[in-house]
Amino acid sequence: MSVHSSAATLVEVPRGLAGVVVTDTEVGDVRGLEGFYHYRQYSAVDLARSRTFEDVWHLLVHGDLPDAARSAAFTAHTAGLRRLPGEVAAALPTIAAAGAGGNPLAGLGTALSLLGAAKGFRPVYDIDADRRREDTVVATAAVPTLLTALYRLGQGREPVEPREDLSYAANYLYMLTGSEPDPVRVRAVEQYLISTIDHGFNASTFTARVIASTGADVAACLVGALGALSGPLHGGAPSRALDTLDAIGTPGRIDPWIRARVLAGERIMGFGHAVYRTEDPRSRMLRDIARRFGGPRVDFAIEVERRVEAILAELKPGRELHTNVEFYAGVVMELCGLPRAMFTPTFAAARVVGWSANVLEQAEDRKIIRPAARYVGPHAPVPVPTA
């Protein structure tokens, strides 16, 4: 079906642009019917199991996996970009005092704008590809420093200076806690970070690309993506999945709690995904990580997952519903000592790499993204009434 206007012929599309292809990409893809997703030509889960965060970061922004020498050089280069310009560091207490200490993700947008100004970021259409790439690396390297500083300031504690001798994930945990990071927890967080770097044409990625299509600078693109990520339908669920476990409380309450929610038609946080019609491969990997830690919390989460699927099969036959990334992400991050207020910010510390790769790709196309809307208001023109 089509509708006509004086300007163009408009084609109706599904609500939310569901299933509509709006561009070509080499960054990665999600194959929801297969339960598989990839970064460039590599399985994202395989990358999380076998490579470092820095290696996958290199893959996304440079286009290939580095050998040992280039990996070491890229790791050293990015580690050297973690310290903040003085004027940005000086502004963080004010940002935290304005309320961002309790919500570091909100403060990150303001801080990234300041960083872009301090670093002299210019419109992506006015600079060459190498400078664009370096701007994304500068911004990404600073994100963990900004997030952990805002969180600690909100807790009434001083920020912890970054260390160049630690990996991205280890340094993140170090700046958050102020303690030497445990290698087992570091690797668990690193695998989580890698698994969430990119995930198809989600709302925040699309937002970043729309802004990049205007020629805006890298900081503006990333801040826009952060705004999209802050919505609870996109990036705000890991802590809510843990809230589900807390609300159930004990094994004896699992079945009645789940039955009541299913019969009432309520959503069970941590279950279901807009794309996957099979088990979320990220959830499968994170469940394996959680099992490595073991303990009552993990056993309880696995039992809840098992009973949700069984009760749905009984009450809603034919309806497929599996855990999504948020369910076991919350469990793993809790086991690694991350506070719930930092769950979604931690997600952002990974996804900024995927946004960067998409911004770089979009910047190669100088066509602005400018869709149309179908007007459904009162007939126009109507004479303007006199006062």
Residue listed under structure tokens 């207020």 = 341
Residue listed under structure tokens 């260390």 = 163
What whole-number distance in Å separates Cα of residue 173 and Cα of residue 64?
27
What is the pairing mode between strands 2-4 and 36-39? unpaired
Residue pair 208/225 in contact by the 8 Å Cβ criterion: yes
**Which residue from 178, 224, 175 is spatially nearest to 203, judged by alpha carbons?**
224
What whole-number distance in Å separates Cα of residue 79 and Cα of residue 52?
14
Here the tokens at position 113 are 């704008």
Classify burial at 23, counting beta carbons within 10 Å of its beta carbon; exposed 0-12, middle 13-18, buried 19 or more.
Answer: middle
**H-helix segments, the chain:** 44-50, 53-62, 68-79, 86-95, 104-118, 129-154, 168-177, 183-195, 203-213, 218-229, 238-248, 254-263, 281-293, 296-315, 325-335, 343-363
**Which residue from 327, 362, 324 is spatially nearest to 215, judged by alpha carbons?**
362
Here the tokens at position 284 are 């499968």
Q: Which residues are catalytic?
A: 273, 326
DSSP letters, 158-195, are PPPPP-TTS-HHHHHHHHHHSSPPPHHHHHHHHHHHHH
